[in-house]
Amino acid sequence: MQETVASALAQLARSDSRAAQVAETALSTLTDGRNLEALTQHAVQEFCWYVLPVRFSTDSAERLFAARSLGRLFTLLGLDRYAAICTSGCTRDILENYRVSHDSGHQAYRRAMRASGVEPPDLPELTWGSTLGSAEIAAYQATSASLELAVALDELRPGTPAWRNSQQQQTRAFLTQPDPQGRSRLDRVREERVRAWLSSPSHPHRQRLWPLLGQLISGAETPPNAASALAPVVRLLDYADDGIGLTQIGYISPSVVRELCAEFDWATSPAPPRSETDSTQLIALHKLLRTMRAVRRSGRRLVLTRRGRLLHDDTEALWRAVAESVLDTDGFAQAATETLLGLLLSHSSRSTGSHARETCTDIAEEARLVLADSGWGSDSPGRLPDTQQVGSVLITVTWLLETLGFVVDGDLLGEGGSHQLTKAGHAFSLTAMHLSATTPPTSL
């Protein structure tokens, strides 16, 4: 193959020695010492639309000359599709945008990459990260190559109606295809992410979660009774669709509070409730919907957002969004919530079957010991978190778990009781932890 490249360069040099020199440098940068067989459409586009204008040359005329010289070399090598990219009007326009400003060029490059069809799209089950591990890099590159083949075979037609749906379907099918060992590329990416999440030096409390490795990688299916469990969430979204009146300080209207408490037979103190603050269930649900960005305040009313309306009509998406919101936090609150869910999942895993032994530990105290052992302290240097502090951080999430029927006993932070998750609660907690462990903080 090196002889073929050398022959093509020699042929180009006979007609344009400068073009041959520039093309050789460009090809060397593009392939990074690898053979031409490893070349992909994604790599060629990345070079012409990003590397060339940002790292290769500062002169706009030289950038265009380099792209066209590389295109001439590709033509001599019989790589006509790649040659067409280098000499296309799209490449010329992107390079012209870089001449105007870096931001203008970068935006044009991103638009063109998405429109080409060979950039792997995000899926509900996988958002590509901005910092990729080796398994994710391999999966991304292989997926891009499979999309390139689909475009070349006319099985994927970028720009046609519904082509992005087809692209997602092909991406999902490729990523979930098992290898001879029965593991898919998606499995390997998830395992890589979970292992990195558990090993995070800034989150030492996660070391206690290693026994849950397999469960965290696979996650959990949405249970059959998800709609029943989420009924209070959907009902509050119903009210928000009509607009919920708010008090002067932003609490849900007392009349709505009383109606919801009566509908779901929620115990309150006092009974009937006079305010949202009398109902732990509504405190938790109100905070949940705001965290999910499913509602927003409009004057003295709480109204449904577009996202809230979409979630209202999709039980599986709503289940995922509620689970995701539980760990939509950081710092000590995140560590405490992860520890709580990890302990509950561990208890449930140990206590299965009709003769399971009930555990009567104080879950907040157990979480405190894990956090203290991991080095989490209070605001005062040298002090360890006390049980009350841990309980105050966890109070809202425990109210939510209780409200949605995810724990066997009604009072998760109370004394005694089994502190066991229901089947739906186990699936919910595992989904929340799986999403936290497998979802990158940013996307490509």
Q: Tens digit of pLDDT for each residue in 7-38? A: 999 999 999 999 999 999 999 999 887 888 88
The Cα 24–Cα 390 span in angstroms is 63
Average confidence (pLDDT) over 262-272: 93
How far apart, in Å, are the Cα atoms of 396 and each of 222, 280, 283, 323, 356? 23, 8, 8, 14, 28
Mean pLDDT of the chain: 91
User: What would the pLDDT profile of 345-390 be if each residue is shown by its tens digit?
Assistant: 998 766 544 444 444 468 888 888 899 888 876 555 556 677 788 8
The per-residue pLDDT for 406 is 94
Q: Are 332 and 393 a contacting pair, CB within 8 Å?
A: yes
Q: Are strands 244-245 and 295-298 parallel, antiparallel or unpaired?
A: unpaired
Q: Is the peptide bond before 272 cis (omega within 30 degrees of 0)?
A: yes
| Average of per-residue pLDDT across 45-65 | 89
Q: What is the mean pLDDT of residues 151-165?
A: 96
Q: Cα dihedral sign for 244, 240, 406, 432?
A: negative
Interhelix angle 102-116/89-100, rounded to 10 degrees, is 150
Q: Is 437 left (phi over 0), alpha (psi -120 to 50) or beta?
A: alpha
The pLDDT tens digits of the residues spanning 385-419 come to: 777 888 888 999 999 999 999 998 767 777 655 67
Please tell me the pTM assigned to this model: 0.86
Phi, psi of 334 (to 5 degrees): -65, -45
> 26: closest CA among 42, 1, 6, 47?
47
Yes or no: say if 32 and 43 are a contact pair by the CB < 8 Å rule.
no
| pLDDT average, residue stretch 315-321 | 97
Cβ atoms of 164 and 125 within 8 Å: the answer is no
Write down the residue that tokens 């060992």 correspond to. Answer: 181
Q: How far apart are CA 174 and CA 344, in angstroms?
A: 35
Q: Residue 145 and residue 116: Cα distance in Å, rounded?
A: 12
Q: Alpha-carbon distance 143 to 172, whole Å?
A: 9
Helix-strand-coil percent breakdown of the chain, rounded to 5? 65, 5, 30
Q: Crossing angle for the helix pair 387-403 and 331-350, nearest 10 degrees?
A: 60
Model pLDDT, residue 358? 47
**Can you give the pLDDT at residue 353?**
47
What's the pLDDT score for residue 361? 62
Q: Is the pLDDT of residue 124 over 80?
A: yes
Residue 383: predicted pLDDT: 63
For residue 279, is pLDDT > 80?
yes
pLDDT band of residue 80 (cuts 50, 70, 90) is: very high
**pLDDT digits 0-9 by tens, 239-258:** 999 999 999 999 999 999 99
Cβ-based neighbour number of residue 354 at 10 Å: 4
Single-letter residue type at 189: V
pLDDT at 415: 66
Q: Extract the tokens encoding 91.
A: 């490449």
Burial of 86: CB neighbours in 10 Å, binned 0-12, 13-18, 19+: buried
- Calculate mean pLDDT across residues 262-267: 95
d(CA 186, CA 122): 12
- CA distances, 80 to each of 56, 86, 91, 158 (Å): 23, 10, 15, 19
pLDDT grade for 298, boundaries at 50, 70 and 90: very high
Report d(CA 128, CA 122) in Å as an integer: 6
Backbone torsions φ then ψ of 140, nearest 5 degrees: -65, -45
- Looking at residue 386, its pLDDT comes to 76
Going across the sheet that includes 295-298, the strands are 244-245, 301-304, 295-298
Distance CA 337, CA 116 (A): 42
Percent of the chain with pLDDT over 70: 93
CA-based R_g, the chain, Å: 28
Q: How large is the average pLDDT for residues 50-67?
A: 88
